[in-house]
Structure 1
Amino acid sequence: MIHYSDEQISQIRDLAAALTPISDIAILMDLDVYQLRDALADPANPVSQAYRRAKAETMLSIRRNELQLASMGSPLAVQLAGTYLINMDNDEDL
């Protein structure tokens, strides 16, 4: 298992928050993509935790914006809100 510095974890967090694909994160940070994927696949790994939290926070912000737009009558936002609800329901069934 590779050890990532606090600085690398912070940079991975920032890139994940910008919804950067894993392969691009590896390229931008000059990391081995397979080692990075292995680290991200381990929920106990601090790299995985930082990546997933940043991604979840960004998605939460996007969903909140979509819900606000849906409440103002945006047809696309209403449709996306429905998709979010279905995803939420599906996740509850796991």
Structure 2
Amino acid sequence: MAVILGISATQLREDIADKSTEVSRRYHRGKAASRVKLLHQEMQLAYVGSPLALENTRNNLLDMEDDE
């Protein structure tokens, strides 16, 4: 990613670690959006009966309850 942005990997890590930067906000927003898409896809697989997706979805729901 740093190569694409034309900055050093160290600089990118520092910008991501600093929660006050726009880079950090965009990085974390993108990461959260990707997670939502993956969880949605897993739910779809669970709806059609995938045993692994059912187990993963169950675990995700339990994790969400633990986080509350």
Identify whether the pair has TM-score above 0.5, normalized to the shorter chain.
yes
Aligned equivalent of 2:27, options 41, 51, 64 = 51
TM-score by length of 2: 0.81
Deviation at 1:72, TM superposition (A): 1.4
Deviation at 1:75, TM superposition (A): 1.0
Distance 1:65 1:81 in 2: 10
- Matching residue of 2:52: 76
Q: How does 1:1-94 map to 2 (within 5 A)?
A: 25-92=1-68
Deviation at 1:52, TM superposition (A): 0.5
Structure having the larger proportion of residues in helix: 2
**Larger RCO: 1 or 2 (CA < 8 Å, sep 6+):** 1
What residue ranges of structure 2 are gaps of 5+ in the alignment? none
TM-score by length of 1: 0.62
Alignment RMSD (CA, Å): 1.6
